[in-house]
Structure 1
C-alpha cells in the first residue's frame, strides 16, 4: 500500500535553513529593543546651539542689508528720470529741470533748483541736504573773482576766424576743456560752418564766460553762405535743412501755417505745442517772413 505524503513535508536541509533564519530574526529583534540608544553629550548640544545662533545672526545681517541703503550726495544738475522718480519728483518738475539744462544753463544753489523745478517746499526740505555743488560754487570769493576776471578783447581785425579755429587752439588759448572744444568743432562741421557768433549758444555745456572768452579772441569772419527762405512758403524738406528743425517740427510748422494762415512774426510759433522760442534768434539766420 502506498504512503500518502503530506504537502507540508519539508526536506531536512530546508528545515535547517528556516531554523537558522528564525534565530537571526530573533536576535535582530532583541538587539533593536535592548541595544542602548546613543546619547548626545552636553558639550555637543552646546556647540550645536552656538552654531545655530551664528546662523540666525547671519540671517539677521542679510535681512538688514536689504532694507538699509547708503544715502549719497549728488549734483542736482544731473538728475536722471529714475533718480527723479526715487527722489519723489513729478514728471513736470523733471521736464522743467531737463529743459533748463538743455539750454546750457546750470543750477548753482538750492534756490535755483526751487525756482527752476517749482518743487514743493516739503520735498525740497527732504532732498536738498543731499545736493552737492562744485567747490568753486561754494567758495564765494573764488567764484566772484573767477567771473570778474577780464580777458583781453581784440578788435575784429585782430581776431581769428571762428570757422577755422582748431580744437587745440581753443584748449591752448581759452583753456576750454578738450571735450567742449571737440564739441564745438563737431557742431560747426555738422551745420556746415557758423553763420553768426550767436550760434555758440547751441553748444551744450559751454558756460557763458567761456563763450565770452572765445568771442574775445575769435569771431565768424567767413560765415556759411545761407539763402534765407520764406517760412510761409518753404517746403518741409527745406525746413529740415535748418539746423534747429527735425521732421516732426517741420510738419508742425507747416500744419500751423495751413490752419492759421501766414505768420507775420516769429513769436507766433510759440503757439505750436512744444515749440520753444529760445533759439528764435538763430532760426532767423535761416528764415524770413516774406
Structure 2
C-alpha cells in the first residue's frame, strides 16, 4: 500500500532528479560564495589600519590648509597682558594703549578722535572716550602725562596782537598812574587802557573771569598767565556779583568746569547727593578726601548750598 504513495512514472522521476540536481547546484554555489566573501573580507580587515592612516593624513592636510581661522580665534581669545606705565594719550600708539588695558574698541576711538584733529588737553578729557570704563580711567589716571602747552596767544596770534597794540598805543589814551578800576566791571576796551595790558591779555582776563564767575580778590589775577603782581595796583573789587555754583543742583559737567574744581571733586559731590541727599554746608565738604583746606578756602565764595 505504501508503494502506491512513492510510485512515480518515468517522466516524473526525471523531473524529480532534475530538481534535486538543481538544488544541489544552488546549495553548492551558496556555500562557495559564503567562503569566497569571507576570504575577501579578511584582506579588507587587514587593510583597515592603512585606510585609517590615509583618512588621518587627509584630515591633517585639511587642517594645515585652513589654519587661519583657528589662529584668528586663538588670537582673539588670547588676552594682552596689562602693563601700566606713564603715557601721553595724544601720542601713544595702538600697541601702547592696548598694553595699558584699553579694549580694541576704545583704542580705535582714541585714534579716530586724534585723526580728526582732537587733542586731550587734560586727563579728564581722556575720560570721555567712548568704550573707556570709569574703573579703567581711575586706574590709568595716575599714569596720564600731558605736557603743558603754550597758549595760542604765545604764538603768531600773540605777536600780531603785540604789534597791533604798539601801533594803537601811539594814538590811544592810557590811564595815568594812580587810576584804579573795578576788576569785575571792566571790559576788554577798559582793560587795554591799563599800561602793560594789550588786546590778547585783556581777552584772557575777561575769559578767566567768566569761568570763575567773577573775582573776589585782585590777587586772583596772577592765575592768568603773563599777569604779574605789578598790575594789581590798577584794580579793585567793588561789585559783589559772583556767580556761584549750586552744590545741590548743578550737574557733573557744570561743577567740574569751574577752574577750582576737577572731575574727582565734582564726582564726589554728585555721588554724595545721590546716596545721602543734600550737602548743607562747607563743613560737610571738608570731610571729603578730594578737597584740601586750600581748595575749600578758594572755593567758598563760589559755592551755594541752597
Give the TM-score taking structure 2 as reference length.
0.33
Give the TM-score taking structure 1 as reference length.
0.34
Q: Which is bigger in relative contact order (C-alpha 8 A, separation at least 6)?
A: 1
